Amino acid sequence: MAEMTRRERIMAATRKQRADKLPFFHYWRHSQWGWAERECRNRGMGLNMERPPYVTKYHDVNVTEQRVSINGQPVVRRTYTTPIGSIYEDEHREPGVGLWYSNRSWKSITPWVTSRLIRTPDDYRIMKFIVEHTEYVADYFPIEQAMDWLGEEGVVMDSLPHSPMQMLMIHWVGSEEGRFFFHLADYPDLVEDLYRAVSKSREPLYEIAAKSPAPVSMCGDNIDGVLANPKLFQKYFMPEYEKQARVLHQRGKLMAVHMDGRLRVLKELIGKTPIDIVEAVHPPPMGDLPLAEALSLWPDKAVWAGFPGAVYALGPQE
């Protein structure tokens, strides 16, 4: 077999075809530039890029940012003002954010939200207004530019937001101290109403992604079976994956979902989804599903394994 390019190798293995060797690649946003990155690429390591195929426009929503101090700690407060009220979130940023790349600090740390957009039942109404007044507009230049830059060194993918319920669990409500689960128990109608609004608003976005020149669309869900437990996964995640995949597959696109958490309790359900790529599956000791079992459970899917960061602490020989 003739030697494949890095892009050909990744895509062949992903499509269940025979590759000349096992693909190994690093995500561009995580890669540190310099001698180590160059040596790894000389040995055959590829690079993958994610970029959005769209821009977001708000209608009747004004977004502002200001620096404030909370308990002596500087944060950036992002306020969304609408005709029916305002909500805000506070974000802590390490030095370097906005001066480096991929929204990361000098130490490659992403900002983290210290105060969520949805704190009270009244906030759901405002968040729903924002969702319903959000427009997604196709912009394929970032994808085209990345494909031009990367060439045959790896694969460029559409970067899509978290799925609707994951937006609540991770971003808007948050799962710290069980907050999302209390909201789901105390205000189920509000949670489900917002979930349905987000799901409907995403339909044009899936069409935009399906038409982009990238071969893969990545849904960055960060699935973990402890948070997105089987009951929630089956009710709120699987239907959305089916809707998204239906649109993507009509255009010949592959659908990847970022599942880097504990997957053992979801392993049977994942097998029933139309996902093409289960991405960033972390084997033990960080995850709880061995790769051999994942491969046997999902014969129709590609498994992109994530390298467990905890292994670094065990030393070079390990």
The predicted-structure confidence for 218-241, as pLDDT tens digits, reads as follows 998 999 999 999 999 999 999 999
Judge whether residue 181 has pLDDT over 80.
Answer: yes
pLDDT at res. 99: 87
The predicted structure's pLDDT at residue 206: 98
pLDDT for residue 291 is more than 80: yes
Three-state DSSP at 166 gives helix
Weakest-pLDDT range from 47-61, 102-116, 141-155: 102-116
Total H helices, total E strands in the chain? 12, 13
Residue 32 pLDDT more than 80?
Answer: no
41, pLDDT greater than 80: yes
Is residue 194 scored above 90 in pLDDT? Answer: yes
Q: How far apart are CA 70 and CA 73, in angstroms?
A: 5
Residue 195 has pLDDT above 80, yes or no: yes
**Average pLDDT estimate for 274-295:** 95
Instruction: Kindly tell me the sign of the dihedral angle through the C-alpha atoms of 139, 140, 143, 149.
Output: negative
What is the reported pTM?
Answer: 0.94
Q: Which of 121, 110, 55, 52 is nearest to 85 (CA)?
A: 121
The stretches of the chain forming alpha helices (DSSP H) are 6-14, 35-42, 121-132, 141-150, 164-166, 179-186, 188-201, 203-210, 230-232, 238-250, 267-271, 291-297
What does the pLDDT read at residue 310? 82
Backbone angles phi, psi at 142, to 5 degrees: -60, -40
The pLDDT tens digits of the residues spanning 66-121 come to 999 988 889 999 999 999 999 999 999 999 998 877 788 888 888 999 999 999 99
Q: In whole angstroms, give the CA distance from residue 94 to residue 268.
A: 39
Distance of CA 214 to the CA centre of its chain: 16
pLDDT tens-digit series, residues 6-27: 999 999 999 999 999 999 999 9
Which residue, chain included where needed, has tokens 């960061």? Answer: 309
Closest to 278 measured CA to CA, from 254, 257, 308, 299? 257
What percent of the chain stands above pLDDT 90?
Answer: 85
**How far is C-alpha 129 from the geometric centre of its chain's CA atoms?**
24
Residue 127: pLDDT band by 50, 70, 90 thresholds?
Answer: very high
* 275 touches 238 (CB < 8 A): no
pLDDT at 167 over 80: yes
pLDDT confidence tier of residue 307, bands split at 50, 70 and 90: confident
